[in-house]
């Protein structure tokens, strides 16, 4: 994920912002409203769209809000029957769930062998459902890690049949400063502030998924009973707006300062540079690792976007090794594994972003190349297909320092697979757990009932 700099995070700790109640009267929040308005303006400009609502508190909630806006738009034109949502196989994973929650019928469209949306199939399905077509949900660049070269054609196909284009902004860090959803032809997009714009991601912390919309959809942005019509991020005519999608009128407002500071410090040149570096870093890894693990999808010019999918599935045949084994072994090298088995089962999706240094990227490459060499030992019969380095990873300090050691490889190879691991060793605290079964099958460790007699 993107770097969460101290200068961005510090203002969140200030009482003037952190202790401000979400329902505080408007006259007590005028200066903060100025920050809101400026951030909204910046986000709209970055997205190439006309208006912003910050109410959604997560990317998934932004998807839901954006689809509700599209539904309200169709209703305002006497076309409430439009309820079909086209979703390509390469779309972000939450898209189908959001569409169903918004009351839409999902129709999945195909992708081709290069990972791009099959425009022929999409056009055929758009034509078949043209009387009821509400929207298409497209991720750009796609979750397959490629820029959809036919993105503008896709928008034309859907618009010609009365639908709206929802662009999932999960991969916006490959667009900022180079292109935009508006330039592609999208009508709505959500922006993950807890990713592209540096709010910390995950760990149970608050997220932000504001939506940006084209001018014709602005009147339908989320309203709120405590937000006066026409105030920042709220439509001027409440009768047209959809209802609130968040309990607070401006979502998780206190953390917006992080994105405000990030954008203010970076400026347009800095934001564009960050996007270029994110794409460069992903292509660097794809080139370095492609000889060891095939890259599943590439664009027509042989490049990837901001992420790449490594495909180790053939190793299951040659060595009995699966992507989960590689992920576990990476822990011994000091890495938390990238996403595995999404969007393609059995693969690893690597997204370095612009935040990693060249030294860190090279260390990650060395780790995966080292693991490939360990797999080659299994293929050559030097290590067994079971009970090998990968199948028994990760290795805890307790296991390595135990009096007994009955594994067909040395303790040193288990704990220190690379020279640089000695200088900065991360010790996993838990060894191999039985995958999905391990955290679903409860084992009672309580004393038997007879002990309480």
Q: What is the pLDDT of residue 115?
A: 85
Question: What is the spatial distance between Cα 367 and Cα 422, in angstroms, rounded to a whole number?
Answer: 14
Q: What is the pLDDT of residue 337?
A: 93
Q: Report yes or no: 401 and 317 within 8 Å, Cβ to Cβ.
A: no
Owner of token pair 């918004």? 102
Q: What is the pLDDT of residue 203?
A: 59
Strand partners, 392: none
User: Which of 155, 157, 144, 163 lies closest to 105 in space, CA to CA?
Assistant: 163
361-385: string of b/e by CB count within 10 Å (b at 16+)? bebbbbbbebbbebbebbeeeebee
- 67 secondary structure, DSSP code: H
Sheet of strand 211-213, all strands in order from the earlier edge strand to the far edge: 51-53, 211-213, 188-190, 164-168, 133-139, 84-88, 105-109
Q: What is the pLDDT of residue 189?
A: 97
Q: What is the pLDDT of residues 48-96, one digit of tens each?
A: 999 999 999 888 999 999 999 999 999 999 999 999 999 998 888 889 9
Q: Report yes or no: 66 and 259 within 8 Å, Cβ to Cβ.
A: no
Q: What's the predicted TM-score (pTM) here?
A: 0.91
Q: Report yes or no: 332 and 393 within 8 Å, Cβ to Cβ.
A: yes
Enclosing H/E stretch for 302: none
Domains for the chain: give ranges and CATH numbers.
6-251 (3.40.640.10), 276-432 (3.90.1150.10)
Owner of token pair 């900022």? 176
Strand partners, 135: 85, 164
Strand partners, 85: 106, 135
Over its length of 453 residues, how does the chain's per-residue pLDDT go in tens digits? 678 899 999 998 998 888 888 888 888 888 888 898 899 999 999 999 999 999 998 889 999 999 999 999 999 999 999 999 999 988 888 899 999 999 999 999 999 888 889 999 999 999 999 999 999 999 999 989 999 899 999 999 999 999 999 999 999 999 999 999 999 999 999 999 988 999 887 655 678 899 999 999 999 999 888 887 767 667 777 678 999 999 988 888 888 999 999 999 999 999 999 999 999 999 999 999 999 999 999 998 999 999 999 999 999 999 999 999 999 999 999 999 999 998 999 999 999 999 999 999 999 999 999 999 999 999 999 999 999 999 999 999 999 999 999 999 999 999 999 999 999 899 999 898 877 676 566 667 777 777 876
Q: What is the pLDDT of residue 202?
A: 63
- 117 secondary structure, DSSP code: B
Give the CA diameter of the chain: 77
- What SS3 state is found at 314? coil
Q: What is the pLDDT of residue 234?
A: 74
Q: Report yes or no: 165 and 159 within 8 Å, Cβ to Cβ.
A: yes
∠ Cα 343 333 205 (to 5°): 55
- 264 secondary structure, DSSP code: H
What does DSSP say about strands 211-213 and 188-190: parallel, antiparallel, or unpaired? antiparallel
Residue 112, both tokens = 């081709």
């Amino acid at each position: 994920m993107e770097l969460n700099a101290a200068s961005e995070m510090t203002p969140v700790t200030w009482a003037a912002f952190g202790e401000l109640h979400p329902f505080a009267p408007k006259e007590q929040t005028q200066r903060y409203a100025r920050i809101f308005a400026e951030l909204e303006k910046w986000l709209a400009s970055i997205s190439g769209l006309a208006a912003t609502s910050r109410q959604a508190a997560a990317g998934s909630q932004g998807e839901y809000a954006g689809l509700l806006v599209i539904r309200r738009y169709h209703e305002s034109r006497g076309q409430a029957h439009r309820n079909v949502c086209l979703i390509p196989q390469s779309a972000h994973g939450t898209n189908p769930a959001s569409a169903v929650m918004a009351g839409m019928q999902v129709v999945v469209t195909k992708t081709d062998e290069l990972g791009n949306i099959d425009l022929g199939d999409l056009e055929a399905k758009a034509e078949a459902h043209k009387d009821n077509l509400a929207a298409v949900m497209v991720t750009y660049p796609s979750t397959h890690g490629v820029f959809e070269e036919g993105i503008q054609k896709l928008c034309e196909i859907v618009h010609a049949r009365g639908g709206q284009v929802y662009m999932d902004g999960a991969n916006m860090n490959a667009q900022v400063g180079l292109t935009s959803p508006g330039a592609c032809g999208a009508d709505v997009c959500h922006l993950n502030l807890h990713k592209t714009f540096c709010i910390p991601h995950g760990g149970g912390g608050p997220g932000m998924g504001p939506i940006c919309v084209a001018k014709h959809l602005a009147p339908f942005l989320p309203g709120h009973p405590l937000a006066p019509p026409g105030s920042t991020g709220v439509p001027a005519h409440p009768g047209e707006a959809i209802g609130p999608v968040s309990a607070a009128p401006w979502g998780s407002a206190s953390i917006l300062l992080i994105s405000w500071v990030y954008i203010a410090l970076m400026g347009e040149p800095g934001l564009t540079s960050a996007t270029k570096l994110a794409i460069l870093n992903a292509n660097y890894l794809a080139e370095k690792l492609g000889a060891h693990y095939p890259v599943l999808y590439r664009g027509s010019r042989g490049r990837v976007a901001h992420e790449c999918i490594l495909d180790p599935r053939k190793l299951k045949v040659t060595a009995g090794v699966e992507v989960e084994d590689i992920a576990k072994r990476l822990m011994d090298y000091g890495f938390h594994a990238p996403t595995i088995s999404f969007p393609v089962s059995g693969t690893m999706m690597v997204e370095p972003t612009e935040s990693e240094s060249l030294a860190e990227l090279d260390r990650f490459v060395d780790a995966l190349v080292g693991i490939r060499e360990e797999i080659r030992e299994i293929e050559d019969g030097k290590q067994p297909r079971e009970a090998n380095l990968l199948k028994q990873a990760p290795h805890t300090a307790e296991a390595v320092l135990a009096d007994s050691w009955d594994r067909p490889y040395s303790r040193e190879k288990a704990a220190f697979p690379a020279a640089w691991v000695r200088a900065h060793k991360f010790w996993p605290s838990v060894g191999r757990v039985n995958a999905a079964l391990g955290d679903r099958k409860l084992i009672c460790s309580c004393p038997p009932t007879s002990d309480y007699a």
